[in-house]
Homo-oligomer: A and B are copies of this chain.
Amino acid sequence: MTRVDANRTAAGCDRCGVDRLCLFGRIAGLRIRRIRTRRGTPLFRSGERVEALFAIRSGCVKEVDVSTGRDGTILNFATAGEILSLQSLQCVPSSTTAIAVECSFVCVVPWNAVNQASLSAPRIVRELMQVIAKAGLEARESLALVRDKEARQRVAGFLLNMHARSQVRSGSTCELRLPMNRDDIANYLGLRSETVSRCFTELARQHLIDVKAKRVRILEVSELRRIYSDA
């Protein structure tokens, strides 16, 4: 599956589904590396000057705040079509570490390439600003998710989110493959893996989802939404 994606996306930039704007198409001709990261390998580390944007073509990369003890806290999961390191604008040292959750293919777009491109096409700057602002909005959304909801709601929200994001790429399907393990989900949601497990089991018992380890089938989107938003 991952391999198929890899082949497809490695073909060229014409099919690149990067979120909201295809930077690559616009700044074509400038040096853009494509790299492959194994699971567990960092794309960049906290404290490093990140001199590039990272666009995920396939796979999944988690962004971790390692400053907060233990094994850090996961701030988001970037999946195919999404951009990483928007916060580490230009050459400001990154506050996060990005680690591949599974084998991933990534485009590395140097900031100076972006800057060059933006000189010739000022719109790019504006769109980039919107992408950055959107990243901020997403942080706020996950804030609302973990701050005010209880465990089952968070898990429902997480599933709905992953579902929606996979819809964008893979069209309408209820099959969902969660690339990350329960610990990562729990970390992201501010819970414990046991609690995540219990919520999965509970939602499955209500026939809203069907869980088989990392494979989840969404059975009742509307009911999940209800659980997520009310109570």
Contacts and interface: CB of A to CB of B under 8 A. Distances in A.
Contacts of A140: 65, 75, 87, 95, 139
A147 B144 contact: no
Copy number in this complex? 2
A69 B128 CA distance: 32
A94 to B, nearest CB: 10
Contacts of A86: 133, 136
Interface string A67-91: 0110001010000000000110110
A168 interface: no
A140 B65 CA distance: 9
A148 interface: yes
Nearest to A136: B136
Given A229-B69, A230-B69, A136 B144 contact: no
A66 to B, nearest CB: 11
Interface in A25-47: none
Contact of A133 (B89, B126, B230): B89
A6 interface: no
Contacts of A136: 86-87, 132-133, 135-136, 139
Interface of A: 65, 68-69, 73, 75, 86-87, 89-90, 92, 95, 125-126, 128-130, 132-133, 135-137, 139-140, 142-144, 146-148, 190, 229-230
13 contacts: A68-B148, A69-B230, A73-B148, A87-B136, A87-B140, A92-B130, A129-B129, A129-B132, A136-B139, A139-B140, A143-B146, A146-B147, A146-B190
Given A95-B140, A143-B143, 20 more contacts: A65-B140, A65-B144, A68-B229, A69-B230, A73-B147, A75-B140, A87-B133, A87-B140, A89-B129, A89-B133, A90-B126, A90-B130, A125-B125, A125-B129, A128-B129, A136-B136, A139-B143, A142-B143, A146-B147, A147-B190
